[in-house]
Structure 1
């Protein structure tokens, strides 16, 4: 028994769709990390928490989560500050490390969904 099939491969289209899916996945990852970090960010008047943003750079295929106040870095790095319960320094680094597997799954799922 002979089985024949024809496959037309459009590599450029596959690459474009995969890249678009990866950009969407990176955006979802950044939003996920922002949400997780907002649960730990030190809160006094919520200015620091409200300054958090997620962004994606399509050209470099990278995502970022940032907090934009004059004291954001110091609050993140200085382990001697006292915070309300559940709030702490390393409010971005710790969720990133903890959620790494989840973010990889989010990214992979977005690419898989595009290629199905």
Structure 2
């Protein structure tokens, strides 16, 4: 199996906080998730629901307080709403329960 992943080139900024995931095709879906980092190319987040690579979803941040502590604040801002395409998904365990760590690329450039 080919494990080649498209890696983000731009720096990742640690910006933790809650987000919600919604279907991009109109099917009712609202999933609670938690963002871990962002870049100008995409985000890394986790959720209790697995999303397959290739799926495009709409994510919404729950507030605008996702600033990181680095000096380049212009690129640290997490988008408040955007379409993203899941690039990878990995199952990990948190307190004995499975959660899914995922990376997603913005579907539309900034």
TM-score, normalised to structure 2, is 0.24
Higher strand share: 2
Which protein, 1 or 2, shows the higher relative CO under an 8 Å CA cutoff with sep ≥ 6? 1
- Higher share in helix: 1
TM-score using structure 1 length: 0.23
